[in-house]
Structure 1
């Protein structure tokens, strides 16, 4: 366990295991679920080991006889485990008895949802605060409190560092690599999805090149509400033999089952004056590094790094989209322990848009704009002021996440926060 980096979900797990008998930790392969879960287990049943899987099939009772806490790793490879755990809970299992991890939704669903018995937690790739690149000075939970306290802190991280963090990945085993090795590992990860994970989920990919092209088109739509029809058209431009719509729906479904899509749903409040909001989701992959890899974009492709000059953004919008995806990942990680949801807002005609909305359980919200810039201007906060005019006190706070060095509050009360200084 040497070198283990503390994750935000660690505290969530400890809090819930102290009172609940069964937790399942869901997330894509390589995100660190097993490493996190095994630290809390006395018995580990690893179901991607055929031998251990067969032993459990032959003797299901070993699950309840095992010394707790019992970790069932990759439980989806033997879905009856779910019902075994559920029945154990019904028979009065003590808090912290069972911990499951899963890298995919099972093909054969359990007979019972587990609602009320098994609590699900999502584990995502590492947010910036978990990567150790900087010590956060601003808490998302504090922003959500509505206290509107002062924000402060300074970081030396700038545009080049954020571009490097985007391509470095939040997967623990990948980000420790450098350069070519990291790119090769990301390429191998994506190849495994096409060649292995799709068939394992019961979908034989007859045209792998089409799936790869669709994934690249989806990556190019990162942080946008581009329609799925437009994504398909971009993936098959010039191809007279386009795949059926049902095929691309299957792509989305299976990628979701693998926890690899992180669409941000539209915020749809019930207020009458906001009844003209769009409902399309914003597209994100689980890790912006996957999107960058699909598009062949490393830091050299994202930045103009002319000798003797400060690095600056290349022409185009890709780095801005990927930076928003990185910030979105951060917010999803930090919002989960606060029981908050990450959404976005866009009016149907596009005249107003707030990049991200963090909604508390009581439906009051924090509005956030994401800016790939070292300076925040009045123009950058105009949509936040519009949102304030629409919902009043239901907006508990507003912030701009940017690439500059200082955390502070503007005179209008809007917080300005470097991405690296935001934490849970």
Structure 2
């Protein structure tokens, strides 16, 4: 407990848990759900211990008697717990009673949605702001409110961002030495293939095919690559390709495990932006998993050759993994601001904006730039969107690897990722 690093979601819990009877913290294994929830719990029941599952099953009245707040960890191991908590909340709606932490949603068990009784908060791997000891100078929430002050400096440069990409946002992994960290990431992925998929009701008949599909998915990071493109990349040289239904199951189960974190396409209302594409942008939960699947370390990512992923049109590995680090962080900050994250691209590929953040009628447009300097070509899509949305577009931001946050003459804010926070 002494070395706990406060998370952005702690502020969310401070705001809502005293008012809500039950909250479910959802996210992949290893993001820190148990550590965060345990700090608020008077009683902890870890259901990843078989003996505790048996005890808990034999004594359903324990939920009512236990000292509150009660944390039920890995609740999906005993799905009926969800309905037990829901019924307890029906009887007593006082705030701050139950925390449920889960790293998967059970597929087979018929669960009541919990609507109106159990609220959900997503926990992701550590954002950039959560990895640093300094307080970020530029607040995403303030930008959404229309507060335009942007002025600060950072000593972070490209090598530090590359270090963070491979370091991982999983608290238990990022502090390890490089070789041990790589082994831990390999073990994490191995557990997904050999155990977690099985626990979700799907036995992987060909682990090698799933690993190849995961690697191809990693190669598609930050792109809207089609299903066919990803499948072809996973089966280069294979005459015995996995079927489309098989790989759709891979996607669906990994989504249930919170390991895929797609950004959906933006659906603007009341404005003509041409024909928007509908495909989501692909992301794994942690950029370090994508880098490891592609066997890229800091040296490789910083090399002049800058590995291409699924083709020249998709960009380079470093550029797309940096965008993944930005997307992970923006997701966390946007959730704290009660905002949604999406992306925009028209079907012709003429205009695209990497990230769109919306809340209460306000909209931010964000471009991601793997460079320290920004020129007019880097903001053309942002300015095009401003021309069409007018005052509906609250602000335009380019997130960079530079040293200084400032506002350009055309009003676009240039913000190094290290300076952006909730």
Post-superposition, which runs of at least 4 consecutive aligned residues in structure 1 deviate over 4 A? none
**Alpha-carbon offset, residue 275 of structure 1:** 4.4
**Alpha-carbon offset, residue 146 of structure 1:** 1.7
**Alpha-carbon offset, residue 359 of structure 1:** 1.2
Aligned CA distance change for structure 1 residues 371 and 303 (closer, same or farther; 3 Å)? same
| Correspondence 1:383 to 2:375 | no
**Alpha-carbon offset, residue 158 of structure 1:** 0.6
Counterpart position of 1:368: 366
Secondary structure of 1:274's partner? coil
Counterpart position of 2:335: 336
1:291-315 alpha-carbon deviations (Å, 9 max, x no partner): 00000001011013xxxxxxx6735
Counterpart position of 2:250: 251
Secondary structure of 2:72's partner? strand
| Correspondence 1:188 to 2:187 | yes
Secondary structure of 1:332's partner? helix
1:79-136 alpha-carbon deviations (Å, 9 max, x no partner): 0000000001100242101100000011333431001110000000000100116431
Counterpart position of 1:281: 280
- Measure the CA separation in 2 of the matches of 1:197 and 1:325: 24
Native 8 Å contact 1:313 1:319 kept in 2: no
Aligned CA distance change for structure 1 residues 414 and 54 (closer, same or farther; 3 Å)? same
**Alpha-carbon offset, residue 239 of structure 1:** 1.4
- Measure the CA separation in 2 of the matches of 1:133 and 1:381: 31
Counterpart position of 1:229: 228
**Alpha-carbon offset, residue 360 of structure 1:** 1.1
Secondary structure of 2:272's partner? helix
Counterpart position of 1:291: 290
Kindly report the root-mean-square deviation, in angstroms, between the aligned alpha carbons of the 2 structures.
Answer: 1.1
Relative to the length of structure 1, the TM-score reads 0.96
Give unpaired runs (5+ residues) of structure 2.
309-315
Native 8 Å contact 2:271 2:389 kept in 1: no
Counterpart position of 1:135: 135
* Matching residue within 289, 302, 314 for 2:306: 314
* Matching residue within 394, 398, 401 for 2:399: 401
1:42-191 matched pairs, under 5 angstroms: 42-132=42-132, 134-147=134-147, 149-191=148-190
Counterpart position of 2:311: none
- Measure the CA separation in 2 of the matches of 1:254 and 1:348: 29
Native 8 Å contact 2:222 2:320 kept in 1: yes
**Alpha-carbon offset, residue 386 of structure 1:** 0.3
1:177-222 alpha-carbon deviations (Å, 9 max, x no partner): 1210100100110011001101111101001000000000000000
Aligned CA distance change for structure 1 residues 313 and 117 (closer, same or farther; 3 Å)? farther
- Measure the CA separation in 1 of the matches of 2:111 and 2:374: 52
What is the number of equivalent residue pairs in this alignment?
Answer: 415
Give unpaired runs (5+ residues) of structure 1.
305-311
Counterpart position of 2:259: 260
- Measure the CA separation in 2 of the matches of 1:248 and 1:271: 37
**Alpha-carbon offset, residue 347 of structure 1:** 0.6
- Measure the CA separation in 2 of the matches of 1:387 and 1:423: 24
Secondary structure of 1:343's partner? strand
Native 8 Å contact 1:222 1:285 kept in 2: yes
**Alpha-carbon offset, residue 51 of structure 1:** 1.0
Q: Which moved more, 1:239-248 or 1:155-164?
A: 239-248
Counterpart position of 1:41: 41
Native 8 Å contact 1:134 1:420 kept in 2: no
1:315-337 alpha-carbon deviations (Å, 9 max, x no partner): 54110000000000000000001
Counterpart position of 1:309: none
Secondary structure of 1:289's partner? helix
Secondary structure of 2:217's partner? helix
Native 8 Å contact 2:162 2:298 kept in 1: yes
Counterpart position of 1:307: none
Q: Which moved more, 1:283-292 or 1:230-239?
A: 230-239
